[in-house]
Amino acid sequence: MNDHQKIIELKRKINHDDFRRQEMEIKEKNRKKKLEAQAPKQTKRKFNVINFIFSCFVLYFAYTAFNQYMTIHDLNGQIEEKETIKAEIEIKAADLKQDVEKINDEEALMGLVEEIARDQYKMVRPNEIIYIDKNKNNNKFMGGIGLNGNLNNSDNTDNTEEENNQKTNE
C-alpha cells in the first residue's frame, strides 16, 4: 500500500483530529526522505595515511629542489669568477711570453731595460731634458724615486698615492 491509501484507511478508523496529526507525521517523513535522497551524504573526513605520506613527499621534494637550485646558483657564480681570473692570468702569461721573447733578442732586451730604468727609476739619457708640469695630477717625477705606486712590476701596487704621501710624510 502506498501512502495515499494509508491516509484513506486512517480517515475511516480514527476521528478527524487524530487523522490530521498522523497525516502531518506521514507527510513530514516523506518530505525528509525526499530531502535525504536529493542531498548528497556528507561523510566525515578521516585522517588518511596515504595523503599524509604524499604531502610529506611533496614537501621533501620542494625542499630538495630549492637547495639544489641554490647550490647550482652558487657554483655558477664561482665558475664565472674563476673564468675571469683565468682570463687575467692568460693575459699576464701572454705578456710574460713577450718579455721572454724580448730577452732572446738583444735590441728588444735593451729596450725593455731602458723602459724599466725610465719608468721605475726615473733615469734619463745623457743630455736629455725633462720638463715636469707641477700642476699635472699623478706626476710620477714629483713623488720621488722608488714609490710603490710608481713601480710597474712590484708586488705592492695596491697602495694609492695618498698612502704613499702619508708614508713619506711620516
Local confidence pLDDT in tens for the 170 residues of the chain? 677 777 777 776 666 666 677 788 888 988 888 877 776 665 556 678 888 899 999 999 999 999 999 999 999 999 999 999 999 999 999 998 887 877 777 887 788 788 888 888 888 888 888 777 777 766 665 555 554 554 444 444 444 445 544 545 44
pTM here is: 0.37
Amino acid at 27: K
Number of H helices, E strands in the chain: 6, 0
Query: Does residue 7 belong to any structural domain of this protein?
Result: yes
Query: Does residue 43 belong to any structural domain of this protein?
Result: no
Which grid coordinates belong to 111?
A: 729596450
Range of the domain at 22: 3-34
- Read off φ and ψ for residue 46, nearest 5 degrees: -105, 155
Amino acid at 109: L
Query: Does residue 40 belong to any structural domain of this protein?
Result: no
71-77-82-83 Cα dihedral, nearest 10 degrees:
130
Query: Does residue 82 belong to any structural domain of this protein?
Result: no
Query: Does residue 9 belong to any structural domain of this protein?
Result: yes
123-128-131-136 Cα dihedral, nearest 10 degrees:
-40
Query: Does residue 10 belong to any structural domain of this protein?
Result: yes
Query: Does residue 25 belong to any structural domain of this protein?
Result: yes
Total domains in the fold of the chain:
1
Query: Does residue 156 belong to any structural domain of this protein?
Result: no
